[in-house]
Amino acid sequence: MDFKLTEEHLMIRDAARDFAKTELLPGVIERDEKQEFPTQQVKKMGELGFLGMMVSPEYGGGGMDTISYILAMEEISKIDASCSVIVSVNNSLVCWGLETYGNEEQKKKYLPKLASGESIGAFCLSEPEAGSDATSQRTTAIDKGDHYILNGTKNWITNGNSADYYLVIAQTDREKKHKGINAFILEKGMEGFEVGPKEQKLGIRGSDTHTLNFNDVKVPKENRIGEDGFGFKFAMKTLSGGRIGIAAQALGIASGAYELARDYSKIRKAFGTEICNHQAIAFKLADMYTEITAARHLVMKAAWDKDQGNNYDMSGAMAKLYASKVAMDTTVEAVQVHGGNGYVKEYHVERLMRDAKITQIYEGTSEIQKIVISRGLLKD
Ligand SMILES: Cc1cc2nc3c(=O)[nH]c(=O)nc-3n(C[C@H](O)[C@H](O)[C@H](O)COP(=O)(O)OP(=O)(O)OC[C@H]3O[C@@H](n4cnc5c(N)ncnc54)[C@H](O)[C@@H]3O)c2cc1C
């Protein structure tokens, strides 16, 4: 067993750390306040290769492993979780899904633009009546020979307005239940495809979350991913890896909050001494650091499983379940360490606390992760 990162991993981590400090930190409070999409920052992330890290160089990506992606996600999330969810959706849902299950034409057509950040992707599974219960798809895709006709609504879609390409899950044959579901590539501007209102959110306010409406959208058959009926499996397999990215986002939010709390406790004085000299505060730091380290081990193990070709359904679910809880607990305590300053925007921890909550909800709630884990435990 070797816990050491390679030189290359360390270089990627340091590059992401420098980028986050120099390019994402300025303006992060204002973007959160105004719910402003980080257009310039996303462009730079694309130029630096953060949007297609795991895509093969053949399709314009970085050809990196999951560990590298996780390290970058953690560093970006420490500073700006709105940017890291854009990185996560583009890398581990859209690019990975397309590269793993798309055909050669689809990969050649879409991946180079997505990997370079010239275009952004969105992953569209959730509906008003189909969140945790993703099999209850109401969006329909009727087979018309050489094309499908899509009708329905998706909601909560990250990159909803900013994306150019959308992977959309829809029901073709209701009688076949989840085996009658398909996945399609839609392009912005297709007739009948409308982007609905933007959600007003608690956290990750820089990312744009929208409802999407499909009214008789004609989608060519060549835009279907995989065989007829593969859509549900496509969504579940893709989300299984996506969860490792969200676990890394949670880890980053927790580490960012811990570092701010640690540094603040060394300068803020109360009762004649720095507050870190009060054991109640020092023990909070000890708890935070221990839990973050445990979360990091789970996240790294899940990423390693994926890189080794092992099954990562359970390890990814455990990493997300635990890291998201640590993100929540750590950010609440980081606000406490900051006292009144923790409650105002300029100290950043209140934003991290708001951002942390989403990691327990999207790409499968914590309750759904427990279903995945317990099923894995009990299946034999
Ligand atoms: C900011 C944001 C961004 C998002 N981005 C995307 C995106 O890009 N693409 C996309 O497709 N979706 C996206 N989502 C949707 C997200 O994945 C869903 O919100 C999530 O899966 C939960 O579904 P739901 O909201 O319908 O809650 P519900 O499924 O209604 O769940 C409500 C509660 O019931 C619990 N519950 C449900 N079923 C069970 C069960 N069997 N056992 C125990 N508890 C259960 C849940 O855990 C939860 O606590 C996003 C959501 C948000 C808020």
Q: What is the per-residue pLDDT across 306-340, written as a single tens digit (0 to 9) for each?
A: 999 999 999 999 999 999 999 999 999 999 999 99
Residue 347 has a pLDDT of 98
Q: Is 143 helix (H, G, I), strand (E, B) or coil?
A: strand
Residues forming a β-bridge with 186:
166
In whole angstroms, how large is the CA radius of gyration of the chain? 21
Residue 152 has a pLDDT of 98
123 pocket-lining for ligand 1 (C-beta < 6 Å):
yes
Tell me how far apart the alpha carbons of residues 15 and 47 are, in angstroms, rounded to a whole number: 13
Residues forming a β-bridge with 225:
183
Residue 101: closest CA among 203, 249, 229: 229
156 pocket-lining for ligand 1 (C-beta < 6 Å):
yes
Tell me how far apart the alpha carbons of residues 124 and 212 are, in angstroms, rounded to a whole number: 9
Q: How far is the CA of 347 from the centre of ligand 1 (A)?
A: 30
Residue having the nearest C-alpha atom to atom 52 of ligand 1: 156
166 pocket-lining for ligand 1 (C-beta < 6 Å):
no
Q: How far is the CA of 12 from the centre of ligand 1 (A)?
A: 32
374 pocket-lining for ligand 1 (C-beta < 6 Å):
no
Residue 324: closest CA among 259, 258, 248, 261: 248
Q: Is the dihedral of CA 195, 196, 198, 204 positive or negative?
A: negative
Q: Is 336 helix (H, G, I), strand (E, B) or coil?
A: helix
155 pocket-lining for ligand 1 (C-beta < 6 Å):
no
This prediction has a pTM of 0.98
Residue 343: closest CA among 354, 359, 330: 354
Residue 89: closest CA among 109, 69, 71, 106: 69
Residue having the nearest C-alpha atom to atom 23 of ligand 1: 131
CB count within 10 Å of CB 58 equals 12
Tokens at 362, concatenated: 């999207």
Degrees to nearest 5, angle at CA 194 with 218 and 126: 90
Q: How far is the CA of 179 from the centre of ligand 1 (A)?
A: 21
Residue 380 has a pLDDT of 77
Ligand 1 atom at shortest distance from the alpha carbon of 361: 20
Active site residue 363: yes
Distances (CA, A) of 223 to 67, 114, 141, 178: 31, 16, 12, 19
Say if residues 86 and 137 touch (Cβ distance below 8 Å). Answer: no
- Which residues of the chain are under the pLDDT cut of 50? none
131 pocket-lining for ligand 1 (C-beta < 6 Å):
yes
Q: How far is the CA of 360 from the centre of ligand 1 (A)?
A: 9
